[in-house]
Amino acid sequence: MAKKKAAKAKRATGRKRGRPAGAKNKQRDVVPGALTRCKMCGSTDRHKYEGEPRVMLSAGVDQDGNDYNVISWRRTSCATCGQYRVDQFFEMRPELE
Ligand SMILES: [Zn+2]
C-alpha cells in the first residue's frame, strides 16, 4: 500500500498584516471640532494666528452647552479672500481653576 502523504494545508505565512505585535490599540474619542469661518466668503482656511491670543478668565456655557472658564481671541486672516478677523474661542482649561 502506498503511503498516504498527508497534504498539509499551506498557510500564508510571513506576511504581516495590521499593527505590529505588542502595539497597543489606543482608544480614541472622535470629537467634532467647530472651525472658524470667514464671514466674507465662508472659507475655513485661514492664515496662522498672529501674536499671543488675548485671554480672559470668564466662566459660562457656550452655544453647544459646554462649560468654559476662558474666552480667548486670536487674530488671523482668511486664506481665501484675505479678510482679517478675530477668532473667538470658549475654552475649558481646568488647570486655571
Ligand atoms: Zn474669506
Instruction: Tell me which residue of 89, 84, 88, 79 sits closest to 45, measured CA to CA.
Output: 79
How do residues 69-87 score in pLDDT, each as one tens digit? Answer: 999 999 999 999 999 999 9
Q: What's the grid cell of residue 32?
A: 467634532
Q: How far is the CA of 41 from the centre of ligand 1 (A)?
A: 4
Please, are residues 48 and 76 in contact by the beta-carbon 8 Å criterion? yes
Decide if 10 is inside a domain: no
In a domain, 87, yes or no: yes
The reply to whether 62 falls in a domain is yes
Residue 8 lies in a domain: no
Give the list of residues 6+ apart from residue 51 with CB closer than 8 angstroms, or none. Answer: 75
In a domain, 72, yes or no: yes
Distance 56 CA to ligand 1 centre (A): 27
Question: Residue 38: inside a domain, yes or no?
Answer: no
Number of domains in the chain: 1
83: in domain: yes
Centre of ligand 1 from the C-alpha of residue 53, in Å: 21
Give 22-61 pLDDT, tens digit per residue.
778 899 999 888 899 999 999 999 999 999 999 999 999 9
**Residue numbers of the domain that contains 63:** 50-96
Is 17 among the domain residues? no
